[in-house]
Amino acid sequence: QVQLVESGGGLVQPGGSLRLSCAASGSISSIYTMGWYRQTPGKQRELVADITSGGIPNYADSVKGRFTISRDNAKNTEYLQMNSLKPEDTAVYSCYYWDVRVYWGQGTQVTVSS
């Protein structure tokens, strides 16, 4: 089992920044991918970004140039730095861990509103 604990969501004004964190613990493999999905009511869940063990990132087109994903392998933690936030970024953001298993965090609300 792998446990994921997220932090860093909240309310921010348009143009502002937030940083999400997701710490993994438990039976962690040496090679795994971590990432973030987001979902709003009535819309399909969207992959925001992910990052491999080797540090190779992948981003949704909607966040390229604004969001940066990173990870600290020593801490089994990933981060999502979100800059230039827009109201359409409002969603519940959930982190995930993937090797041959998939685990999910509990989700954290990000609200972008003036």
What is the pLDDT at residue 41?
87
Query: Mean per-residue pLDDT for 10-38?
Result: 96
Q: Is the pLDDT of residue 52 over 90?
A: yes
How many distinct helices (H) and strands (E) make up the chain?
Answer: 0, 11
Query: Which residues, other chains included, contact 74 with Cβ-Cβ below 8 Å and sequence gap of 6+?
Result: none
What is the pLDDT at residue 39?
96
The sign of the dihedral angle between the CA atoms of 104, 67, 7, 107 is negative
Residue 4 tokens read as 């994921």
| CA-wise closest residue to 51 among 20, 72, 25, 30 | 72
At 42, is the pLDDT very low, low, confident or very high (cuts 50, 70, 90)?
confident
Average pLDDT, the chain: 96
CA distances from 107 to 29, 41, 55, 57, 103 (A): 22, 14, 23, 21, 12
